[in-house]
Structure 1
């Protein structure tokens, strides 16, 4: 087998379609089919079920998938390390960041990092925390920012370091009865019409988990993952919502009110365990951990 066959196999497995894999790889579809077929012949195994134009991994294919990912991860790590030893690359930081915090915490971090490392480039992808974890695991991202709260556990394949603890606050318009309060309870909050986030955003899963002891369901009247739209809907009185405190700290036309008891979310930088992290990425991790405040409005547990 060769590396090209492994790359084609992984792309077909990711997209569950030979044609889409070929389009993604920018090669002809027959070339992908032939390469995968040759790989199966060399292994003397069938890796894909091919029925009614639907493609899925066989049991043998599922097992081989893990091996193929590890082989390509090791190869990429070797290429990066050897290139760095020979001084052939300037270096790139590839990171996934949840949209809610990308515009409110990281711009200053990126600015200061570029001042310290002007030779390095930065590539940022905006995704939800769960999607970022999956992309790191599959090698589509080098590292990413993920969220955690309470007793949340991460897959054993991930290495994580916390860099910030941020308070989750109720967000209401200035004329709302909650606006003059020091704090509101979960029960009071879910009695209001809520503008909320769709599945896939960790702040939603974390909050719904926190509500399990309240005994009643939230009144969600509008769902979106566009946090700027959430703000607008809160401003015009459609409903109220929750945000990380940093996201609404400078909005003079919105009020941020604490929960009673307070709720906090941990933000962590994550990368794939036992995988080579390039010098550029390691420099960013070290910079982030050194310059992030670590604690905001709460003590770490």
Structure 2
């Protein structure tokens, strides 16, 4: 029996759903709005289902549309992966690697790796997105990123991962602080201080939240900022203390002090489990793993 749709029809349907409108979808697809509207009308007629609620200013998926959308996205992603695999049989390589890196790693750990890979593969474009580790996981799952650096924990078990680095999370204080010359600080002492923390979704914040749950102590949050230079300035001026990966505490006005029970994070390079890695992406993974000692 012939199917009531093809990949082009599914692409139109998914674009309309993503853009929540026929006009916006038409602009993205570079076709007339009437063509988009007709394609959706034909699809609904052939399926004998209503796929969209038509509101005055926007459209939303019906429950039937939600079901089709999930399957359509998967089919389109598989079709794109198949097309890429066939192109690579002719020696064509995807010209871009999209990688997500958390703030601390992007600023302090990854530049040598990115520059080294670029020197070896000048024809490959690297697009680097800086965001919290959890958001990066969602972006990989949604196909917005090819690769990303994630925390090696239960929430990343569903992904393909290659171990990158094991690094200590330390207490960061100004040089004049009472903790600065100590060998270690207890969690109880840490939580008695005003804290400068990243916002939710960053592994820096998750680490502190987990420590709070383990000890039953509440964090006294004085400032929230995802900007590392601003966080350092606040700590340096004595308005609070924070936690960083040890390498980030790299200036004379700040001191890095271990927790009494040293805290370590395992970080991995990850991608979606069923994703097809292009030659460019595979080359990037191989390069990073081969050169991770520079981290």
* SS of match in other structure, 1:5: helix
Task: Give the match for residue 293 of structure 2.
Answer: 293
1:132 Cα shift?
Answer: 1.4
For structure 1, the residue ranges without an aligned partner over 5 or more in a row are 297-301
Cα deviation per residue 1:225-253 (whole Å; 9 max; x = unaligned)?
Answer: 112211111111121111111222x2222
Q: 1:104 to 1:61 in 2, by over 3 A?
A: same
Instruction: Report the number of matched residues.
Output: 291
- Residue of structure 2 equivalent to 1:299: none
Secondary structure of 1:153's aligned partner: helix
Write out aligned runs for 1:112-123 (5 A).
Answer: 112-123=116-127
Q: Decide whether the 8 Å contact of 1:93 with 1:281 is kept in 2.
A: yes
The residue correspondences of 1:1-301 to structure 2 (distance < 5 A) are 1-16=5-20, 21=25, 31-51=35-55, 53=57, 55-89=59-93, 91-149=95-153, 152-154=154-156, 156=158, 158-248=159-249, 250-293=250-293
On the 8 A contact 2:196/2:235 being kept in 1, the answer is yes
- Measure how far apart 1:67 and its partner are: 1.5
Per-residue deviation, 1:21:
4.9
Instruction: Provide the rounded CA distance (Å) in 2 between the counterparts of 1:22 and 1:244.
Output: 46
State the shift of 1:206 in Å. 3.0
> Residue deviations 1:67-109, cap 9 Å, x none?
1122111121122222222123463211111122111111100
Deviation digits for residues 161-189 of structure 1 (CA, Å, limit 9, x no counterpart) = 22111111111111011111111111111
Distance 1:255 1:30, change over 3 A: farther
Distance 2:54 2:277 in 1: 37
Point out where structure 2 has 5 or more consecutive residues left out of the alignment: none
- Superposition deviation, residue 8 in structure 1: 3.6
Could you tell me how far apart the structure 1 residues matched to 2:256 and 2:41 are?
Answer: 58
Deviation at 1:51, TM superposition (A): 4.0
Contact 1:185–1:259 at 8 Å: present in 2 too?
yes
The verdict on how the C-alpha distance between 1:52 and 1:129 changes in structure 2, with shifts beyond 3 A counting, is farther
> For structure 1, which segment, 26-35 or 95-104, has the greater mean C-alpha deviation from structure 2 after superposition?
26-35
- Calculate the aligned-residue CA RMSD, in Å: 2.4
Contact 1:91 1:279 in 2 (8 A): no
Measured at CA, do residues 56 and 88 of structure 1 come closer, stay the same or move farther in structure 2, by a change above 3 Å?
same
> How big is the shift at 1:197?
0.9
Most deviating of 18-27 and 78-87: 18-27
Computing the radius of gyration over CA atoms, which structure comes out larger, 1 or 2? 2
Which runs of structure 1 show a deviation greater than 6 angstroms over 4 or more consecutive aligned residues? Answer: none
Distance 1:29 1:233 in 2: 52
| TM-score, scaled to structure 2 | 0.88
Change (3 A) 1:71 1:244: same
Shift of 1:207: 2.2
Q: Distance in 2 between matches of 1:21 and 1:237?
A: 51
Question: Is contact 1:172-1:256 (8 Å) kept?
Answer: yes
